[in-house]
């Protein structure tokens, strides 16, 4: 069975592009830790730390429960199934000591007590202590900025490497936003660079940002130095990066030199330049999506969204031949149409003879070409539109270069004609006008068609074709 290639996520595609660019620019990839200790946030942010922690997610864990096995409980267990109580007590003891992981407890009961899974779960319901457990908060938080991890990573690497060091990490950051809306969600991707190099300053950093964003397709970039600098950046070195979108400046990155005070808290004497790109924000702008929830979680929010590649995958032939003869005829018919397309009627040309049929392509009308003007058009997907275009017309150069070709009109029609031969549908058959996809033997899933309409895009394949096929008995 042929495996259909899967569809990528817009955000994943953008992250992949950035990853390739970073590698091509000589950066080494690092996976930074996602869990940071509260004390590190204070080391980096100083007096600003409580504000950062206010929108951080603290981690908590359930304690190991005290599970007492009373005589009453033993009687209830025996009502469920016969078990070795001493073995059962031993399993609970190992669980309390941490030698059996919580998510392995049921499995250990099934194996150790030789009981069924449902019996093990029924036994656990006899211990209400499990339901009454309350999470105990820790001093660990999920990182709200990739910065929180860079200090730790660079400190560790400087013990093993000599600068300059060029690193990148693409990963999630987590922020306890007051609400999730068109611009805010709890988790988002950060594509972050860290450069440890005494010769690398803010000016070089801005030049680097321009080159990276140019590779993505953002040609004009605006830099603004922040007046109120985050505490982990050195004063007057933090800058924001904007691009123009629908007349507004939209921030897509933030960078600067780390504060010597914060670096000293980690005994780091080398300067560090950092820039972090908002992957979702960049993806929204490149794909003209105005709601981050719809971008990241299309399965939950709003209507479906399909890119050109996805739309192209749903344009199918309505009818295709199944027999060896039919599949051979597709090529024969297509070849004959291209050969005789300019012949003037009335004329007919033999395409196939055998297997009980004679097949002709023909032009029954006087002074008419065998194939109409739109007969050579091809179907392309371009910026959410489905278009029938003349591939030799220069006005469609942009569509030819950036669009996705699915079928030519002749390919689709030849498949239909071959099916008619297979079915022994004797007589003359004519395709006159291309106006809808089914008119030229193509079809599209209804949900895709509705999506195209909802986006104010169009399906425009209109044009005269006027091609005839004659299917006669071969007697």
What are the residues facing 381 on neighbouring strands?
386, 404
What does the pLDDT average to over 304-311?
86
pTM: 0.65
DSSP 204-254: HHHHHHHHHHHHHT----EEEE-SS--TTBPTTT-EEEEEEETTEEEEEEE
Same domain, 153 and 283: yes
- Judge whether 43 lies within some domain: yes
Predicted local distance difference test score (pLDDT) of residue 92? 86
Dihedral angle computed from the Cα positions of residues 137, 140, 143 and 147, in that order, rounded to the nearest 10 degrees: 150
Same domain, 196 and 106: no
Q: For 229-244, give one letter per residue: b (16+ CB within 10 A) or e.
A: bbbbbbeebbbbbbbe
For residue 441, pLDDT over 80 is answered with: yes
Same domain, 247 and 123: no
- Tokens representing residue 17 in the block: 């592009």
Tens digit of each residue's pLDDT (9 = 90 or more) over 206-218: 999 999 999 999 9
Q: Which residues contact 238 (CB under 8 A, 6 or more apart)?
A: 225, 226, 229, 230, 254, 255, 256
Pick the more confident residue, 226 or 301: 226
Same domain, 200 and 171: yes
Predicted local distance difference test score (pLDDT) of residue 89? 87
- Judge whether 4 lies within some domain: no
Instruction: Phi first, then psi: give them for residue 447, nearest 5 degrees.
Output: -65, -30
What does the pLDDT average to over 20-45?
96
pLDDT grade for 355, boundaries at 50, 70 and 90: confident
Average pLDDT, the chain: 92
Q: Which residues contact 99 (CB under 8 A, 6 or more apart)?
A: none
Last residue of a domain, which of 93, 116, 133?
A: 133
371 vs 39: CA distance, rounded Å: 77
Q: Which residues contact 85 (CB under 8 A, 6 or more apart)?
A: 69, 74, 77
Same domain, 337 and 450: yes
- Tokens representing residue 88 in the block: 């059962």
pLDDT grade for 306, boundaries at 50, 70 and 90: confident
- Judge whether 49 lies within some domain: yes
pLDDT grade for 302, boundaries at 50, 70 and 90: low
Last residue of a domain, which of 296, 322, 348?
A: 296
Same domain, 282 and 323: no
- State the sign of the Cα–Cα–Cα–Cα dihedral 90, 96, 97, 101: positive
Last residue of a domain, which of 72, 102, 133?
A: 133
Tens digit of each residue's pLDDT (9 = 90 or more) over 378-395: 999 999 999 999 999 999
Same domain, 173 and 282: yes
What does the pLDDT average to over 111-121?
92
Q: Which domain holds residue 243?
A: 10-58+139-296
What are the start-end ranges of the H helices in 260-323? 260-264, 279-287, 292-296, 308-313
Same domain, 161 and 266: yes
- Judge whether 385 lies within some domain: yes
What are the residues facing 174 on neighbouring strands?
187
With both helix axes pointing from N to C terminus, report the angle between 10-24 and 202-216 in degrees, rounded to the nearest 10.
Answer: 130
> What percentage of the chain has pLDDT greater than the value 70?
99
Pick the more confident residue, 177 or 16: 16
**At 66, is the secondary structure helix, strand, or coil?**
coil
Tens digit of each residue's pLDDT (9 = 90 or more) over 89-113: 898 888 888 898 888 999 999 999 9
Same domain, 314 and 424: yes
Same domain, 407 and 430: yes
Instruction: Give Rg (Cα) of the chain.
Output: 34
- Judge whether 353 lies within some domain: yes
- Judge whether 14 lies within some domain: yes
CATH number assigned to the domain comprising residue 275:
3.30.930.10
408 vs 467: CA distance, rounded Å: 14
13 vs 295: CA distance, rounded Å: 12
Predicted local distance difference test score (pLDDT) of residue 67? 75
348 vs 356: CA distance, rounded Å: 19
What does the pLDDT average to over 287-297?
89
Same domain, 258 and 289: yes
- Judge whether 3 lies within some domain: no
Predicted local distance difference test score (pLDDT) of residue 1? 67
Task: Name the domain count of the chain.
Answer: 3
Same domain, 145 and 258: yes
């Amino acid at each position: 069975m042929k495996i259909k290639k899967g569809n990528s996520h817009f955000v994943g595609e953008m992250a992949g592009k950035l990853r390739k660019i970073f590698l091509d620019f000589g950066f080494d990839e690092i996976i930074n830790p996602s869990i940071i200790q509260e004390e590190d946030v204070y080391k980096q942010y100083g007096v600003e730390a409580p504000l950062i922690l206010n929108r951080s997610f603290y981690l908590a864990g359930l304690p190991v429960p005290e599970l007492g096995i009373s005589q009453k409980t033993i009687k209830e267990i025996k009502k469920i199934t016969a078990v070795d109580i001493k073995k059962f007590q031993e399993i609970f003891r190992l669980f309390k000591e941490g030698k059996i992981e919580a998510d392995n407890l049921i499995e250990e009961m099934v194996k150790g007590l030789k009981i069924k899974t449902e019996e093990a779960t029924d036994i656990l319901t006899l211990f209400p202590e499990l339901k009454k457990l309350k999470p105990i908060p820790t001093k660990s938080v999920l990182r709200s900025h990739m910065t929180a991890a860079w200090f730790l990573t660079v400190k560790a690497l400087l013990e093993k490497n000599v600068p300059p060091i060029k690193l990148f990490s693409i990963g999630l950051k987590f922020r306890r936003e007051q609400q999730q809306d068109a611009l805010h969600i709890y988790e988002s991707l950060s594509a972050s660079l860290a450069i440890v190099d005494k010769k690398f300053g803010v000016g070089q950093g801005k030049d680097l940002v321009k080159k990276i964003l140019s590779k993505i397709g953002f040609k004009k970039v605006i830099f603004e130095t922040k007046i109120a600098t985050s505490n982990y950046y050195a004063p007057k070195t933090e800058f924001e990066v904007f691009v123009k979108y629908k007349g507004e400046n939209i921030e897509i990155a933030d960078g600067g030199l780390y504060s010597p005070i914060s670096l000293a808290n980690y005994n780091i004497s080398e300067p560090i330049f950092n820039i972090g790109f908002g992957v979702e924000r960049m993806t929204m702008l490149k794909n003209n999506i105005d709601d981050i929830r719809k971008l990241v979680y299309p399965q939950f929010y709003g209507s479906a969204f399909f890119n050109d590649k996805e739309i192209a995958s749903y344009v199918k032939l309505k009818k295709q031949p199944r027999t060896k003869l039919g599949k051979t005829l597709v090529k024969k018919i297509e070849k004959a149409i291209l050969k005789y397309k300019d012949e003037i009627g009335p004329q007919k040309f033999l395409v196939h003879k055998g297997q009980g049929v004679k097949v002709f392509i023909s032009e029954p009308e006087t002074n008419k070409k065998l194939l109409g003007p739109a007969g050579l058009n091809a179907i392309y997907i371009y910026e959410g539109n489905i278009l029938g275009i003349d591939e030799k017309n220069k006005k469609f150069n942009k569509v030819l270069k950036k669009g996705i070709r699915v079928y030519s009109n002749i390919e689709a029609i030849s498949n239909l004609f071959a099916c008619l031969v297979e079915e022994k549908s004797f007589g003359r058959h004519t395709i006159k006008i291309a106006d809808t996809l089914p008119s030229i033997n193509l079809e599209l899933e209804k949900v895709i068609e509705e999506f195209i309409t909802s986006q104010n895009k169009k399906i425009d394949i209109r044009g005269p074709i006027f091609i005839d096929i004659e299917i006669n008995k071969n007697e």
